[in-house]
Structure 1
Amino acid sequence: MLNRRDAFRGLALTMGMVSVGFAGPAAAALPPLNWTPAALDAEQARALDAAAELIIPRTDTPGAREAKVPQFVDRAIATYCEPAQAQLLKSGLTQMDADARAAHGVVFAALKPAQQAELLTRYEQEAIAARKAWKPRHFFSVLKEYVTIGYFTSEPGATLALNYDPVPGEYHGCIPLADVGRAWAL
């Protein structure tokens, strides 16, 4: 007789085989997201994560992924963007996966870094051409803008990638005017 533990083990094994069979080897190789998207689906979030890391890669300073830029962009799409701009970004991320599948048979996040860079270079050229022709903004120019804002307003971006100089500096109250000298004019 089959007990509950064996039934669940069999069900889990069957579901695991079915999900790998339907998703294919490329999807099984993708690492899981370590955050939960608010506005994007999982595929769009993975494409955003890979693209953000290519736009601002890890060097001697943290990259976009370490600065949590994909989460920032997702949150901006969910709470800040106007519906038309949110749709532009979402459809652009979906288009990245479609273009990657058409060219290489796998989603954008599963491509090799050189293939990802090639695709992003094409989008950059399309964005430049759209700007020169006074056409509506290309999704990639909007994506780069949000990635850049997200990175340089993050703690690692603001303190490690940029020179951090807290203004107005330290506060020293009750000091003689002679120690200060002349006052500043604006």
Structure 2
Amino acid sequence: MLNRRDAFRGLALTMGMVSVGFAGPVAAALPPLAWTPAALNAEQARALDAAAELIVPKTDTPGAREAKVPQFVDRTIATYLDKTQGELLKSGLTQMDVDARAAHGKAFAELTSAQQTALLSRYDQEAAAARKAWKPRHFFSLLKEYVTIGYFTSEPGATLALRYEPVPGEYHGCIPLADVGKAWAL
């Protein structure tokens, strides 16, 4: 199985995990949504949940679902993104279900892991082609961006997947000046 830390080392989330594939039926045991979407409808939220878990799967560190990345992306659409970007993501999530139903007769979240991976790989190729041809941004590149941001700014992503350095560090008050040495000058 591909190590997520190595996959992100090249450039945060190049879809190596999705294009290479990995073992495990992620979609087969898909739990019901444990959160209430703010900007998305239920079908879009389920597609987002399944896609996010494929983009950042659970390995020796928590995956996107455990890090609550789908909730982050939904909240980002509801409160942060401009209307154009929000609509691009929402229409893209709807398109994922449309494409899944056309190809397999089921919603994206109900597909097998291999079927989901194939569909996401196709979107990744389309996004790369759009970027090279200077075409408008593909929804999947925006989805990957916000899933990555959501994961690495979550507590599990920041503390378990990355090396965490608390800033400004530990505070030790009331210590003798001799233990510190000279005072700092700016």
TM-score, with structure 2 as normaliser: 0.79
Distance in structure 1 (CA, Å) of the matches to 2:168 and 2:81: 32
Q: 2:77 & 2:94 partners in 1: Cα distance? A: 14
Q: Which has the higher contact order (CA 8 A, sep 6+)?
A: 2
Q: Does 1:106 align with 2:106?
A: yes
Over aligned residue pairs, what C-alpha RMSD do you find? 1.9
- Looking at structure 1, the residues matched to 95 and 66 of structure 2 have their Cα atoms a distance apart, in angstroms, of 25
1:61: Cα distance to partner? 0.2
Q: Deviations over 1:94-135 (max 9, x none)?
A: 000000011111010000001100100000000101111111
Where does residue 172 of structure 2 map in the other structure?
172
What is the correspondence of 1:114-153 to structure 2 with a 5 Å cutoff? Answer: 114-153=114-153
Paired residues for 1:66-105 under 5 Å: 66-105=66-105
Instruction: Give the number of the structure whose alpha-carbon radius of gyration is greater.
Output: 1
The residue type paired with residue 76 of structure 2 is: A
Distance 1:54 1:136 in 2: 24
Task: Give the Cα–Cα distance (whole angstroms) in 1 for the partners of residues 68 and 107 of structure 2.
Answer: 22
Amino acid corresponding to residue 86 of structure 1 in structure 2: G
> Percent identity over the alignment?
76
Deviations 1:132-167 (A, max 9, x none): 111111000000010001111111111111111112
Shift in CA distance, 31/160, structure 1 to aligned 2, threshold 3 Å: closer
Tell me how far 1:35 sits from its aligned partner: 0.6
Aligned match of 2:154: 154
Q: For 2:86 and 2:159, how far apart are their aligned partners in 1?
A: 29
Letter in structure 1 aligned against 2:177: P
- Tell me how far apart the structure 1 counterparts of residues 88 and 60 of structure 2 sit (CA, whole Å): 33
Q: Which consecutive unaligned segments of at least 5 residues does structure 1 have?
A: 1-28
Could you say what secondary structure the match of 1:44 adopts? helix
Q: Which residue of 2 aligns with 1:26?
A: none
Alignment deviations for residues 22-47 of structure 1 (CA, whole Å, 9 cap, x no partner): xxxxxxx9642111100000000000
30 and 181 in structure 1: CA distance in 2 versus 1, 3 angstrom threshold:
closer
Unaligned 5+ runs, structure 2? 1-28
Runs of at least 4 residues off by over 2 Å: 29-32, 171-185
Structure 1 residue 172 displacement after superposition: 3.2
Residue 30 and residue 56 in structure 1: after superposition, are their counterparts in 2 closer, same or farther (change >3 A)? Answer: closer
